[in-house]
C-alpha cells in the first residue's frame, strides 16, 4: 500500500455529542412562527423601568402599565382599619378643635341644603361620590406613607417629600371624616336608600387612581428603546417571512 494513501482510521476521533447546556448565541427569537407572541414575551426585557415602579404597579401581558393587585389589597386593608374611626383632636385645645370641626360639618349641611329643592337625589349621589373619592385618596396616601416610612433609613432625617406626604395624609383624613359626618346628617334628605360608603366603590376609586399613576410614572420613567428596536426587528422579520412564503 503506498505510504501517501490517507486512512481515516488512523486519526484519533471523538464522539460528537450535543452540549449539555445550550449556549446563549444559539437562542433565537420565534420570529417566523409567532412574531406577535415573541414580541409580547420579550416585553419585560425590552422595557426598562426603575425598581420603585414595581412596588406599586406592574405591566400587563401586552407591556401596558397597570395597578398591582397586592397594592390595592394593602390600601383596602388600611380602609378597613380607618373607615369607622373618628377624627382625633390633639392640639392645645382639643375641645375647641372638635367644636370647630362639627361647625364645619354643619356649615356644609347648610350650604348643600340649598341645592335640594330640585332633584335631591342627584345632589346626594354627587356628594356620595365626592366622599368616596376622598376616602380612596386618604387611605391610598396613608398606605403610601406607611410603605415609604418602612424604606427610610431610621438613622437619617425624614425627607421633605415624606413630611409633605404626612401632612397631606392628615388633611385628607380630616376631610374624609368631615364628609362622612355630613352624609350622616343628610341621610334622610337626599331621598336615597343609604348614604353610607360601600367598600367596593372605594376600591374602584383606588384602582382608578393607581391606574392613572401607573400610566403617569410609566410615561415619565420607562425606557422603551429596546421595545422600539424589537418592534422594528419584528416588522423586518414579518417582511422577510412574507417574501419567503410568496417565493
pLDDT (tens digit per residue) in 212-238? 999 999 998 887 554 444 454 555 555
| Angle CA 223–225–227, to nearest 5 | 100
* Averaged pLDDT, 174-203: 93
For residue range 5-64, what is the model confidence (pLDDT) as tens digits?
445 445 454 554 555 555 555 555 554 555 555 554 454 456 788 888 888 899 998 889
- Which pLDDT value is given to residue 132? 97
Q: Is the pTM of this model over 0.75?
A: no
Contacts of 190 (CB under 8 A, 6+ apart): 116, 120, 121, 123, 124, 125, 127
Separation of alpha carbons 230 and 228, rounded Å: 5
- How far from chain centre, in Å, is Cα 32? 35
Separation of alpha carbons 231 and 238, rounded Å: 11
* Averaged pLDDT, 106-135: 95
User: Cβ–Cβ contacts within 10 Å for residue 100, how many?
Assistant: 11
The ranges assigned to domains in the chain are 69-220
Amino acid at each position: 500500500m503506498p505510504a501517501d494513501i490517507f486512512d481515516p482510521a488512523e486519526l484519533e476521533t471523538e464522539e460528537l455529542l450535543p452540549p449539555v447546556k445550550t449556549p446563549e448565541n444559539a437562542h433565537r427569537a420565534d420570529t417566523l412562527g409567532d412574531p406577535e407572541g415573541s414580541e409580547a414575551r420579550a416585553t419585560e426585557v425590552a422595557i426598562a423601568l426603575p425598581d420603585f415602579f414595581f412596588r406599586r404597579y406592574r405591566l400587563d401581558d401586552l407591556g401596558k402599565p397597570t395597578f398591582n393587585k397586592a397594592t390595592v389589597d394593602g390600601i383596602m386593608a388600611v380602609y378597613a382599619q380607618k373607615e369607622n374611626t373618628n377624627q382625633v383632636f390633639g392640639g392645645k385645645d382639643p375641645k375647641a378643635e372638635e367644636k370647630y370641626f362639627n361647625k364645619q360639618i354643619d356649615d356644609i349641611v347648610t350650604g348643600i341644603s340649598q341645592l335640594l329643592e330640585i332633584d335631591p337625589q342627584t345632589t346626594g349621589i354627587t356628594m356620595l361620590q365626592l366622599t368616596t373619592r376622598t376616602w380612596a385618596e386618604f387611605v391610598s396616601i396613608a398606605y403610601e406613607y406607611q410603605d415609604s416610612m418602612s424604606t427610610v433609613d431610621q438613622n437619617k432625617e425624614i425627607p421633605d417629600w415624606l413630611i409633605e406626604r404626612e401632612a397631606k395624609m392628615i388633611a385628607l383624613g380630616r376631610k374624609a371624616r368631615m364628609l362622612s359626618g355630613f352624609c350622616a346628617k343628610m341621610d334622610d334628605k337626599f331621598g336615597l336608600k343609604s348614604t353610607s360608603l360601600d367598600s367596593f366603590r372605594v376600591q374602584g376609586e383606588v384602582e382608578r387612581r393607581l391606574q392613572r399613576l401607573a400610566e403617569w410614572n410609566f410615561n415619565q420613567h420607562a425606557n422603551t428603546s429596546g421595545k422600539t428596536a424589537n418592534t422594528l426587528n419584528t416588522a423586518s422579520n414579518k417582511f422577510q417571512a412574507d417574501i419567503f412564503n410568496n417565493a
